[in-house]
């Protein structure tokens, strides 16, 4: 009996306790690892949100600076404000125009002595003193702009405008190209965009920052990792932009926490299964997304992805719609390739066409295959006839080069129809329809050319012909 007890004790000491200790250590390790993994996931997700928030602020400041520079770099503005002040001209072309085009809350023009020459505040023109509206660092921002010899640069910064956080941009008021006129006038254009709840709501939606709002330093219980300190010109005022952080780690804990004991017994098997399942699901989702948004043959974006990108660029959801050209392209002579060389050769030609189109695209351009031998291209910022004709000529020339298909050589051409946003509209389907109308005119003109919708047909005929050709 004693030997049996002694043996049991030895078994307990030598086998059971080490195994129990190992399992306990494994359980503790798994628990610690689980919480560490959850924290790493959460920290990484919040870090990405911080990058998005900083990018949003930086982008908005640069956007406002660009607008101020555009309005300040203007011969007529110098003539009607600096040379001889015309209030009606300034109110219509600087104040109301800036307010309408950029959604500004305030617009000011400062003289060489920093006095307010003109103001438009909340829709009312006048000469209200800028210092009565902008606090929390405006003088520091103004001094930074004045610093230097030529004063021809622009600056932007965050401060308070009538008690609301605002982005402020300052740019010089100077002639455009008149080298006979002194470029430095000392005058400046000031754009003010209040970052009120509506503005922050737009930023929260566009940059995936739920609950984005301004913390004036009186909130408690915040996860300060999910915030950015606003580096205002006045260091005495430290506000923060805060949002509801993305916490994927919490979801992990809620899902796997109750099963920690089971994970301790089958950790290796379960880990392998989970990782395999996760990777398989991820690959399936990636493949499914790629198939849904890209053309199977060429790998180019399809109609759905083209519409999505075009809508993000110029669609009705945007308050400010950048200009862009939409080209509708149709290959000339492609049917003959299919008829003489076969459909496999036709597919090979389409692949080479897609590759040449990619080579001709800038990073921000989108080229898509709409089906058959029809393609489309969206070119942000390319809106002059000369620039569009130049790009279209490059495409026509490149596509006209021979295609080598096995031992055979094939030749095709391309005809192009062009529509311009916002001149020809901002609806995606409407822009593509109008480009298609212009394409029909290019085909009728002998192929291998580019035609613009504005030149193609009369308003009456455009509606009629478009309805005949277009299938949404």
The mean per-residue pLDDT over the stretch 87-112 comes to: 93
Whole-number pLDDT of residue 336 = 93
Whole-number pLDDT of residue 180 = 54
| pLDDT reading at 216 higher than 60 | yes
Q: Let me know: does 376 contact 306? Beta carbons within 8 Å.
A: yes
44 Cβ contact partners less than 8 Å away, ≥ 6 residues apart: none
What does the domain layout of the chain look like in residue ranges? 1-246, 253-293, 303-469
Neighbouring-strand partners of residue 379: 325
pLDDT tens for residues 227-256?
887 655 555 556 778 888 888 887 877 787
In total, the chain counts a number of residues equal to 472
Neighbour-count burial for 44-76, b at 16+ CB within 10 Å, e otherwise: ebbeebbeebeebbeebbebbbbbbbebbbbee
Nearest partner of 51 among 193, 225, 290, 278, judged by Cα? 225
Q: Let me know: does 101 contact 319? Beta carbons within 8 Å.
A: no
| pLDDT reading at 286 higher than 70 | no
Nearest partner of 439 among 451, 455, 429, 425, judged by Cα? 451
Whole-number pLDDT of residue 148 = 58
pLDDT tens for residues 38-56?
888 888 888 888 888 888 8
pTM of the model: 0.46
> What are 17's two structure tokens?
């306790």
Domain 1-246 has what CATH class? alpha beta
Architecture of domain 303-469: 2-Layer Sandwich (3.30)
């Amino acid at each position: 009996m004693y030997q049996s007890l002694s043996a049991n004790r030895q078994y307990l000491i030598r086998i059971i306790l080490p195994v129990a200790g190992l399992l306990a250590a494994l359980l503790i390790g798994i628990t610690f690892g689980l919480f560490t993994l959850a924290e790493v996931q959460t920290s990484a997700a919040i870090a990405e949100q911080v990058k998005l928030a900083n990018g949003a602020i930086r982008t908005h400041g640069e956007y406002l600076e660009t607008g101020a520079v555009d309005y300040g770099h203007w011969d007529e503005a110098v003539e009607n404000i600096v040379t001889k002040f015309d209030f009606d001209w300034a109110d219509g072309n600087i104040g109301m125009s800036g307010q309408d085009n950029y959604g500004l809350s305030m617009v000011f023009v400062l003289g060489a002595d920093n006095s307010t020459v003109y103001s438009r505040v909340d829709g009312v023109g006048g000469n209200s003193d800028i210092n009565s509206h902008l606090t929390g660092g405006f003088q520091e921002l103004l001094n930074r702009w004045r610093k230097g010899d030529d004063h021809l640069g622009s600056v932007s910064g965050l401060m308070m405008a009538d008690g609301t956080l605002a982005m402020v941009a300052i740019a010089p008021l100077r002639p455009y190209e008149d080298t006979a006129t002194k470029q430095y006038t000392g005058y400046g254009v000031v754009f003010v965009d209040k970052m009120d709840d509506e503005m922050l709501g737009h930023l929260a939606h566009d940059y995936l920052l739920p609950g984005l709002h301004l913390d004036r330093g009186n909130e408690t219980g915040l996860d300060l990792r999910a915030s950015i300190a606003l580096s205002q010109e006045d260091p005495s005022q430290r506000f923060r932009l805060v949002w509801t952080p993305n916490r994927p780690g919490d979801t992990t804990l809620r899902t796997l926490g109750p099963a920690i004991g089971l994970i301790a017994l089958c950790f290796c098997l379960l880990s392998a299964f989970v990782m395999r399942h996760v990777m398989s699901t991820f690959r399936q989702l990636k493949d499914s997304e790629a198939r849904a948004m890209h053309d199977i043959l060429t790998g180019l974006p399809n109609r759905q992805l083209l519409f999505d990108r075009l809508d993000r660029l110029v669609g009705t959801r945007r308050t400010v719609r950048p200009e862009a050209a939409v080209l509708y392209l149709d290959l000339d002579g492609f049917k003959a390739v299919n008829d003489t060389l076969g459909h496999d050769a036709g597919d090979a030609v389409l692949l080479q066409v897609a590759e040449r189109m990619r080579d001709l695209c800038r990073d921000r351009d989108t080229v898509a295959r709409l089906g058959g031998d029809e393609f489309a291209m969206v070119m942000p910022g390319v809106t002059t006839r000369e620039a569009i004709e130049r790009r279209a000529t490059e495409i026509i020339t490149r596509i006209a080069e021979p295609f080598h298909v096995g031992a055979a050589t094939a030749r095709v051409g391309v005809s192009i129809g062009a529509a311009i946003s916002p001149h020809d509209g901002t609806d995606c389907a409407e822009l593509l329809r109008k480009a298609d109308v212009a394409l029909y005119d290019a085909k009728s003109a002998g192929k291998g050319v580019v035609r613009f919708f504005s030149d193609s047909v009369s308003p009456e005929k455009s509606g009629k012909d478009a309805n005949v050709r277009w299938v949404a």
